Chains A and B, each alone.
Chain A
Amino acid sequence: MIDQRKKHNFKLYNIIIFIVFVAFITALDLKFLGDDYVRRVLSLAAIYTIVSVSMNLVNGFTGLFSLGQAGFMAVGAYTVAIFTVPLEKRAAIFYVVDQNPVLAQIHLPFVVALILGGLLSALIAILIGIPVLRLRSDYLAIATLGFSEIIRIILTNAKSITNGALGIKGIPEMPTMWVFFGVMILSVTLIVLLINSSYGRAFKAIREDEIAAEAMGINLFKHKVMSFAIGAFFAGIGGGLLASLLGTVDPKQFYFTMTYNFLLIIVLGGMGSISGTVIASFIVTIGLEVLRFFDEPLTLLGFNIPLFRAGFRMVIFSALLMILVLFFRNGLLGQKELSWDMITSWFNKKTLRRKEKGGAL
């Protein structure tokens, strides 16, 4: 009886939290709250959530070590950039080398270009996956890292398509933050549904023990390629959103070190925990913005502290990744998901401990 009521309460809590979240974002969106900077950072966090959750699907749930997220994002971002810039603006952007005459005629709505970008990423993932995923998954790390470098080389050199190092400017901006948060909610829901399906169970089986999984009749190759391609699809979508958030793309944005942001996020959140990844995405994205003061020279009481100068933030960032993986390998949530049971038991433990202490005194 009591259990039943408790469960009911939890459902109510979930609904309340969801309403608060929607109200908060809507208030931000209608400019009741915050400023443009806050809106931008939160939208970025939403995009990082999409990409990190997709990376966790590959790395955390399937056990493949993929480092191609930045490359797949670049594919999505450039697809959106190439097809959504208004036709009349194109000549001004491609002023060094003319745009490919076929592409110069095509203009697609944002949603179509976004999905096309995701599909292209997935296609490339399949092309990389077919030779590489038949073997030990170590090679995937090198192949994906190499891929994100090659894609940058191609973006810089294929000037008639991508405008080379100059990048593409003037990508239409989105009227509302709900574009980012809506896609985030949709993508995370889809990935959660996938993980809880029979495919998801197969992914986890592969992660735990490839040989045992194969013995249970799971087609290793098929499932690995599938997980990798789906991960790439969502990374492409994230890249497309990033292009429309920033309004401009250029090859330098998608340097492979960008992938390490997502790596930090999934390690912090817990490899194999969706809720952990979502929380960590917001922590890391906001943290990276807050930590910007580390890069500024700091003067305390008239003394110039020499530690604080350009690059310090990234040192802290990478040291944090090392500390996490060496000492807190499970991150925030390990392979568990955040639930009300977990929160209540955590609080109970705390109060219990306090009571015990009180008793001893």
Chain B
Amino acid sequence: MTFEIFMQQLANGISIGSLYALIAIGYTMVYGILRLINFAHGDIFMMASYFMVFSMVNFGLPWYVSMVIVIIATILLGVLVEKTAYKPLRNAPRMSIMISAIGVSFLLENLATYLFTGVPKGFPDIAILTQAISFGNISFSVATLVTPIITLILLYVVQFITNKTKIGMAMRASSIDFETARLMGININRVISTTFVIGSGLAAVGAILWGSKYPSVMPLMGVMPGLKCFIAAVLGGIGNTTGAVLGGFILGMAEIMLVTFLPSLTGYRDAIAFIILIVVLLVKPTGLLGEKVTDKV
């Protein structure tokens, strides 16, 4: 293998890792507060891709306008999912909420198949993101370079919100103890909605960058990234946003490095994440940056 190919793959790994990171933040925040695996998160990401296709291809809007519309639409969808599928079940057994989450995810997938058919749609070409730049023999698309930077900026924004603002303080309080936070006068529904707003917004940004890299939009495209990003969140320590980003990077790198060094195992690329999950659960169930949580009786 030449140095160029290695560098190319390294850049790929970092950029795919940061895409995972963007989606993983949504999982980790929802899990931190609701203790719920939001199975629909991957499908919200999928819907965001479709929104982008419609906005740019069908309505012919320029990319910067589309981007704003897509982010807003995705946030609305995320909040709608929370209000209809999770809020009515807040006091229900955990099993019911999990089934509801699965149900929403399945409903979104089937709706997408029904409305947009299973035939893949091409993701609109955002020239500013897909043009190639080269350093010597190595060439990247702008998206590959920009993605990690955007991810780190957004991580900083999320950190700022959770650590420096009032709603962020409410979020941290709710994630430590839901009931006590409520007793202290925190409007728990607002906290949860904010969490979904942030998570869905990041998923929308992720979808736009993802589409510039893999320009094919399908109803089931969100399933695998969804599962993997949850695993990334577990790897980093669930509930911890920095951990989610770290986990995303590690997962992305692991996948790309497998493809680079053991090309014969390329077919097993999607299996890596689950092997990582099993190893993490065996060795350090709290993840890299997670804190040990004890269940109180």
Contacts and interface: CB of A to CB of B under 8 A. Distances in A.
B9 to A, nearest CB: 21
B92 A157 contact: no
Contacts of B202: none
Q: Is the interface of A mostly helix, strand, loop or mixed?
A: helix
A153 B270 contact: yes
A260 B270 contact: no
Contact of B100 (A63, A135, A319, A322): A322
Interface residues of A, number: 44
A352 interface: no
Most buried by A among B92, B104, B110, B223: B110
Given A149-B227, A315-B107, A138 B37 contact: yes
Interface residues of B, number: 43
Contacts of A225: none
Given A139-B234, A142-B277, A67 B102 contact: yes
Interface stretch (B174-182, B204-212, B278-286): B278-286
A153 B278 CA distance: 17
Nearest to A314: B110
Contacts of B84: 326
A283 interface: no
Given A317-B110, A329-B92, A146 B35 contact: no
B285 A150 contact: no
Contacts of A134: 281, 285
Contacts of B223: 256
B268 A153 contact: yes
A147 B274 contact: yes
B80 interface: no
B231 interface: yes
Contacts of A257: 106, 109
Contacts, number: 113
A335 to B, nearest CB: 11
Interface in B65-122: 84-85, 88-89, 92, 95-96, 98-100, 102-104, 106-107, 109-111, 113-114, 117-118
Given A145-B227, A156-B267, A263-B102, A326 B89 contact: yes
A218 to B, nearest CB: 16
A211 interface: yes
A44 B95 CA distance: 27
Given A145-B227, A153-B271, A318-B110, A139 B95 contact: no
Interface of B: 35, 37, 84-85, 88-89, 92, 95-96, 98-100, 102-104, 106-107, 109-111, 113-114, 117-118, 223-224, 227, 230-231, 234, 267-268, 270-271, 273-274, 277-278, 281-282, 285, 295, 297
28 contacts: A59-B95, A65-B95, A67-B102, A131-B278, A139-B277, A139-B281, A141-B37, A142-B37, A143-B274, A143-B278, A143-B281, A146-B231, A146-B277, A149-B271, A150-B270, A150-B274, A154-B268, A157-B267, A211-B297, A257-B106, A260-B102, A263-B102, A271-B95, A311-B113, A325-B96, A326-B84, A326-B88, A326-B89
Interface of A: 59, 63, 65, 67, 128, 131-132, 134-135, 138-139, 141-143, 145-147, 149-150, 153-154, 156-157, 211, 256-257, 260, 263, 267, 271, 309-312, 314-315, 317-319, 321-322, 325-326, 329
